[in-house]
Amino acid sequence: MVTDLADFHHPVSNIFHSDLKKSLASFNLTNSQIEFFKSEGYLPGIQALNDQQVEQLRSELTPIMDPAHPGNSLYYEFHTNESKDPAKVLFHALGGWRITPALHDILWAPGYLQPAFQLLGGPVRFWHDQLFCKPAKHGGVVAWHQDYSYWTRTGPMAHLTCWIALDDATVDNGCVHYIPKSHQWDLLPITGLAGDMESIRSVLSPKQFEQFVPTPVPLKKGQAVFHHPLTIHGSFENKTPNPRRAAVINVLLDGTISKSDEPLLTGVPAIAKGTAVKGKFFPLLHDGEKICASDYKGIRG
| Structural Rg of the chain based on CA atoms | 18
CA distances from 18 to 46, 49, 65, 142, 298 (A): 18, 11, 28, 34, 14
Binding of ligand AKG at residue 147 (CB under 6 A)?
Answer: yes
Shortest CB 236 distance to ligand AKG, Å = 9
CA distance 78 to 68: 12
Q: Binders of ligand AKG among 106-145, rule CB under 6 A?
A: 132, 142
Nearer to ligand AKG, 20 or 133 (CB): 133
Shortest CB 87 distance to ligand AKG, Å = 18
DSSP state of 140: P
Binding of ligand AKG at residue 6 (CB under 6 A)?
Answer: no
Other residues' Cβ atoms within 10 Å of the Cβ of residue 60 = 17
Contact between residue 257 and residue 277 where contact means Cβ atoms under 8 Å apart: yes
User: How many Å from the N-terminal Cα to the C-terminal Cα in the chain?
Assistant: 27
Q: Residue 33 CA to chain centroid, in angstroms?
A: 19
User: Element (H or E) spanning 55, and its range?
Assistant: helix 51-64
Q: Which of 6, 109, 197, 248 binds ligand AKG (CB under 6 A)?
A: 248
CA distance 123 to 137: 41
Nearer to ligand AKG, 126 or 163 (CB): 163
Shortest CB 234 distance to ligand AKG, Å = 7
Nearer to ligand AKG, 118 or 235 (CB): 235
Shortest CB 298 distance to ligand AKG, Å = 31
Q: Which of 159, 183, 228, 233 binds ligand AKG (CB under 6 A)?
A: 233
Instruction: Compute the half-sphere exposure of residue 67: CA atoms within 13 Å on the CB side of its CA.
Output: 7
CA distance 167 to 220: 7
Nearer to ligand AKG, 48 or 246 (CB): 246
Shortest CB 301 distance to ligand AKG, Å = 30
Nearer to ligand AKG, 83 or 235 (CB): 235
Shortest CB 204 distance to ligand AKG, Å = 18
Q: Rounded to the nearest 10 degrees, how much is the dihedral formed by the CA atoms of 292, 294, 295, 300? A: 130
Nearer to ligand AKG, 176 or 271 (CB): 176
Size of the site for ligand AKG (CB under 6 A): 10
x/- site string to ligand AKG, residues 179 to 218, per CB under 6 A?
----------------------------------------
Binding of ligand AKG at residue 57 (CB under 6 A)?
Answer: no
Residues ≥6 apart with Cβ < 8 Å to 35: none
Residues that bind ligand AKG (CB under 6 A): 132, 142, 147, 161, 163, 176, 233, 235, 246, 248
